[in-house]
Structure 1
Amino acid sequence: MKFNKHLESIKTYEAGKPIELVVREFGIEPKDIVKLASNENPLGCSQKVQDAVSAIVKNMALYPDDSMIKLKAGLSKRFDVEQKNIIIGSGSDQVIEFIIHAKADENTKVLVNSVTFAMYEIYAKHVGAQIIKTASQEHNLDEFYDLYKKENPSIIFLCTPNNPTGDAIDAADMMSFLEKIDEDTLVVVDGAYMEYAKYADDKKAVEPKELIEKFKNVIYLGTFSKAYGLGGMRTGYGIADELIINELYKLRPPFNITTLSLEAASVALEDEEFVNKSIALNFEQMKRYKEFANEQKLDIIESYTNFVTLCLNQNQNSTKLADDLLRRGMIVRDLAGYGMNAIRVTVGTSEQNDKFFELAKQYL
Structure 2
Amino acid sequence: MNFNSKMKDIKNYEAGKPIELVVREFGIEPKDIIKLASNENPNGCSKKVQDGVSKIISKMALYPDDSMIALKSALSKRFDVGVSNVIIGSGSDQVIEFLIHAKANSESKILMNSITFAMYEIYAKHVGAEILRTSSQEHDLDEFYKIYKEEKPSIIFLCTPNNPTGDAIEATKLFEFLKKIDSDTLVVVDGAYMEYALVKDSSKEVKPKDLVEEFDNVIYLGTFSKAYGLGGMRVGYGVADAKIIKELYKLRPPFNITTLSLEAATIALGDEEFVNKSVVNNFNEMKRYEEFAKEQKIDIINSYTNFVTLCLNPNQISSVIADLLLKKGMIVRDLSSYGMNAIRVTVGTQEQNSRFFELASEIL
TM-score, normalised to structure 1, is 1.00
- Secondary structure of residue in 2 paired with 1:74: helix
Provide the residue aligned with 1:80 in structure 2: 80
Provide the residue aligned with 2:353 in structure 1: 353
Q: For 1:246-257, what aligned pairs fall within 5 Å after superposition?
A: 246-257=246-257
Q: For 1:165-204, what aligned pairs fall within 5 Å after superposition?
A: 165-204=165-204
Q: Is 1:10 the equivalent of 2:14?
A: no
1:339 counterpart letter in structure 2? G
Provide the residue aligned with 1:69 in structure 2: 69
Provide the residue aligned with 2:238 in structure 1: 238
Q: 1 CA distance for matches of 2:10 and 2:359?
A: 35
Q: 2 CA distance for matches of 1:294 and 1:189?
A: 32
Provide the residue aligned with 1:135 in structure 2: 135
Q: For 1:48-127, what aligned pairs fall within 5 Å after superposition?
A: 48-127=48-127
Q: 2 CA distance for matches of 1:301 and 1:60?
A: 43
Q: Is 1:39 the equivalent of 2:39?
A: yes
Q: Is 1:289 the equivalent of 2:292?
A: no
Deviations 1:247-274 (A, max 9, x none): 0000000000000000000000000000
Q: 2 CA distance for matches of 1:59 and 1:242?
A: 31
Deviations 1:35-90 (A, max 9, x none): 00000000000000000110000111110000001001110110000000000000
The answer for unaligned runs of 5 or more in structure 2 is none
Provide the residue aligned with 2:329 in structure 1: 329
Q: 1 CA distance for matches of 2:6 and 2:315?
A: 38
1:236 counterpart letter in structure 2? G
Displacement after TM superposition at 1:212 (Å): 1.1
Displacement after TM superposition at 1:277 (Å): 0.5
Q: 2 CA distance for matches of 1:21 and 1:328?
A: 14
1:254 counterpart letter in structure 2? P
Percent identity at matched positions? 75
Deviations 1:223-252 (A, max 9, x none): 000000000000000000000000000000
Q: For 1:13-32, what aligned pairs fall within 5 Å after superposition?
A: 13-32=13-32
- Secondary structure of residue in 1 paired with 2:284: helix
Q: 1 CA distance for matches of 2:12 and 2:351?
A: 33
Q: 2 CA distance for matches of 1:267 and 1:282?
A: 22
Q: 2 CA distance for matches of 1:143 and 1:92?
A: 26
- Secondary structure of residue in 2 paired with 1:358: helix
RMSD value, Cα: 0.3
Q: 2 CA distance for matches of 1:314 and 1:24?
A: 32
Provide the residue aligned with 1:158 in structure 2: 158
TM-score, normalised to structure 2, is 1.00
1:330 counterpart letter in structure 2? M
Provide the residue aligned with 1:362 in structure 2: 362
Deviations 1:261-300 (A, max 9, x none): 0000000000000000000000000000000000000000
Provide the residue aligned with 1:270 in structure 2: 270
2:31 counterpart letter in structure 1? K
